[in-house]
């Protein structure tokens, strides 16, 4: 069933396990647009209570949960503050402008990590010329930052600043469980810091589809309506939600294996002459810079040997570890890396 090559392109490439498929097959479903799918409701409630938030909303993608959150937290002509590497800005097709008619203020964090010192000067004062700064978006882990994590100690002062200044704070937590496993922070401590949290089930957790948006009851009520307007109201979605519940029960602790695998790859890469530098590995993403020649050339050579990955710029390459890459496949990959 799984592809024959070693697939390090993304943690989205995993296939459901036999146990996950069983859970999907036996899910109790109903029409979720009528609020009658108990498996969807149970997934939404499970994540909301894990993160100490009031309510959840199951959506087809993380792009949708982020874009709905941004629409909930802004008015047209407002401004969203985020890092220049942010997924909400770079990889959501200008959705902030399209859906929310808001502008974006880009900051330059270290590996995508923002601080109150970076944010505060960029919050607009009340002036007839300026857009109203209404929302800060953080990403944890930072995808473009090579899977770098925020700790709650770093998030608390950002929350404090947003609170004083009257801005909402949203978390793009596509890989929040990787961050929780790496930092040891508790999911339950997150609720008090964020107005919205977006969580992907289809990345490291290994579900085939789905993301959940968390917020207050009122916010999620509004979000549910926006989801319908986006065309994201789903019917017997419990079959998919069951995969998410299974992933939360079985695939969180094992993320530490992916992190160890990523570190082992980085150690191997550091021994080669074609690698210039490697971003310190914190989770399941390895980003490295090639010494000379183009990154694409190295990607092509790796692919020739059966290791598939992607460039992230003309000189950088990303490898992502996941559920479908077992220890012997990591050993194989290390051999390929060492003898390229
Ligand atoms: C993958 C990802 C998302 C959501 O992507 P979808 O493919 O729309 O589910 C959001 N933010 C980050 C940081 C991501 O890596």
Instruction: Report pLDDT for 293.
Output: 77
What six digits make up the tokens of 83? 């890092």
Ligand 1 mean position, distance from CA 11 (Å) = 11
Question: Could you read off the pLDDT of 278-325 as tens digits, one per residue?
Answer: 999 999 999 999 998 799 999 999 999 999 999 999 999 999 999 999
Q: Find where tokens 């964090």 sit.
A: 109
Instruction: Report pLDDT for 292.
Output: 84
Ligand 1 mean position, distance from CA 143 (Å) = 9
Helix, strand, coil content of the chain in percent (nearest 5): 40, 20, 40
Q: Which CATH number fits domain 6-13+253-338: 3.30.1490.190, 1.10.260.40, 3.30.420.40, 3.90.1150.10?
A: 3.90.1150.10
Ligand 1 mean position, distance from CA 127 (Å) = 34
Ligand 1 mean position, distance from CA 63 (Å) = 6
Residues 131, 135, 138: CA angle, nearest 5 degrees: 135
Mean residue pLDDT of the chain comes to 97
Q: Cα torsion for 106, 111, 112, 114, to the nearest 10°?
A: -90
Residue nearest to atom 5 of ligand 1 (CA): 62
- What count of other Cβ atoms lies within 10 Å of the Cβ of residue 228? 11
- pLDDT band of residue 3 (cuts 50, 70, 90) is low
Same fold, 6-13+253-338 and 18-250: no
pLDDT at 1 > cutoff 50: no
- What count of other Cβ atoms lies within 10 Å of the Cβ of residue 338? 11
pLDDT at 273 > cutoff 90: yes
Residue nearest to atom 4 of ligand 1 (CA): 62
Q: What is the mean pLDDT of residues 55-75?
A: 98
Question: Could you read off the pLDDT of 230-250 as tens digits, one per residue?
Answer: 999 999 999 999 999 999 999
Please state the atom number of ligand 1 nearest to the C-alpha of residue 92: 8
Q: Which CATH number fits domain 18-250: 3.40.640.10, 3.40.718.10, 3.40.630.180, 2.40.110.10?
A: 3.40.640.10
Please state the atom number of ligand 1 nearest to the C-alpha of residue 203: 1
Q: Find where tokens 């997934």 sit.
A: 43
| pTM beyond 0.85, yes or no | yes
- What count of other Cβ atoms lies within 10 Å of the Cβ of residue 68? 30
Instruction: Report pLDDT for 154.
Output: 98
Buried b (16+ CB within 10 A) or exposed e, 253-278: eebebbbebbbbbbebbeeeebbeeb
Sequence ranges of the domains in the chain: 6-13+253-338, 18-250
Please state the atom number of ligand 1 nearest to the C-alpha of residue 63: 8
- 9, 62, 113, 210: which to mutate for ligand 1, most atoms within 8 A of CB? 62
Question: Could you read off the pLDDT of 176-204 as tens digits, one per residue?
Answer: 999 999 999 999 999 999 999 999 999 99
């Amino acid at each position: 069933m799984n592809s024959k090559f070693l697939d390090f392109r993304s943690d989205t490439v995993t296939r459901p396990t036999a146990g996950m498929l069983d859970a999907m097959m036996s899910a109790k479903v109903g029409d979720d647009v009528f609020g009658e799918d108990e498996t969807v409701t149970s997934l939404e409630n499970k994540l909301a209570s894990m993160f100490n938030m009031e309510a959840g909303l199951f959506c087809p993608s993380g792009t949708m949960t982020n874009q709905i959150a941004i629409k909930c937290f802004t008015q047209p002509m407002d401004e969203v503050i985020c890092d220049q590497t942010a997924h909400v800005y770079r990889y959501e097709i200008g959705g902030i402008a399209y859906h929310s008619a808001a502008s974006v203020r880009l900051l330059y964090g270290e590996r995508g990590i923002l601080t109150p010192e970076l944010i505060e000067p960029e919050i607009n004062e009340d002036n007839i010329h300026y857009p109203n700064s209404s929302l800060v978006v953080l990403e944890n882990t930072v995808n473009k930052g090579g899977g770098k994590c925020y700790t709650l100690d770093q998030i608390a002062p950002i929350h404090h600043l947003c609170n004083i200044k009257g801005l909402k704070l949203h978390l793009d937590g596509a890989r929040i469980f990787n961050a929780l496993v790496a930092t040891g922070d508790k999911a339950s401590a997150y609720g008090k810091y964020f107005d919205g949290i977006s969580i992907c089930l289809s990345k490291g957790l290994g579900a085939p589809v789905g993301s959940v948006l968390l917020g207050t009851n009122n916010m999620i009520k509004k979000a549910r309506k926006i989801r319908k307007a986006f065309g994201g109201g789903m019917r017997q979605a419990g079959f998919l939600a069951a995969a998410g519940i299974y992933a939360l029960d079985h695939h969180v602790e094992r993320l530490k294996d992916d992190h160890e695998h990523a570190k082992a790859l980085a150690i191997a890469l550091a021994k080669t002459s074609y690698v210039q530098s490697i971003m310190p590995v914190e989770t399941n993403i390895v980003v490295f810079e090639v010494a000379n020649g183009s990154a694409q050339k190295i990607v092509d050579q790796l692919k020739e040997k059966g290791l598939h990955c992607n460039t992230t710029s003309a000189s950088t390459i990303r490898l992502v570890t996941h559920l479908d890459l077992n220890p012997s496949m990591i050993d194989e990959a290390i051999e390929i890396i060492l003898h390229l």
